[in-house]
Amino acid sequence: MTTRAKIWLSSLIIYSAFVFWYTDFSGPLSDAEVDQFVATLKQRNSDSKTTAYIENFLRNDRGRQFLMLNNLDMADNPPDVEGANPGESADQLMNRYMEHMYPELLKRASHPVVFGQAANSALDMVGIENTTEMQEWTDGALFRYRSRRTFMEIVANPNIKGRHEFKLAALDKTIAYPIETSIYLGDMRLLLGLILLSLTALLDNIRFARRAKSQP
**Mean predicted lDDT score pLDDT of the chain:** 92
Per-residue pLDDT tens for 109-142?
999 999 999 999 988 888 887 778 889 999 999 9
Residue 45 confidence class, pLDDT cut points 50, 70, 90: confident
89 within domain boundaries: yes
The structural domain count of the chain equals: 3
Q: Clarify whether residues 73 and 19 are in a common domain.
A: no
Q: Clarify whether residues 47 and 151 are in a common domain.
A: no
171/5: higher pLDDT: 171
Q: Average pLDDT of 34-38? A: 95
CATH for 171: 3.30.70.100
191 within domain boundaries: yes
Q: Clarify whether residues 151 and 122 are in a common domain.
A: yes
Please give the pLDDT value at position 130.
Answer: 75
121 within domain boundaries: yes
Q: Clarify whether residues 111 and 55 are in a common domain.
A: no
Per-residue pLDDT tens for 67-79?
999 999 999 999 9
* Distance, CA of 86 to CA of 158 (rounded, Å): 25
**pLDDT surpassing 90 at residue 177:** yes
Q: Clarify whether residues 103 and 41 are in a common domain.
A: no
216 within domain boundaries: no
Q: Clarify whether residues 74 and 127 are in a common domain.
A: yes
Please give the pLDDT value at position 216.
Answer: 64
Q: Clarify whether residues 40 and 109 are in a common domain.
A: no
Please give the pLDDT value at position 28.
Answer: 97
Q: Clarify whether residues 130 and 45 are in a common domain.
A: no
Q: Clarify whether residues 89 and 53 are in a common domain.
A: no
138 within domain boundaries: yes
pTM above threshold 0.85: yes
**Parent domain of 53:** 29-62
Q: Clarify whether residues 144 and 69 are in a common domain.
A: yes
69 within domain boundaries: yes
174 within domain boundaries: yes
82 within domain boundaries: yes
Q: Clarify whether residues 119 and 15 are in a common domain.
A: no
- Go through the chain and tell me how many residues it has: 216
Q: Clarify whether residues 121 and 131 are in a common domain.
A: yes
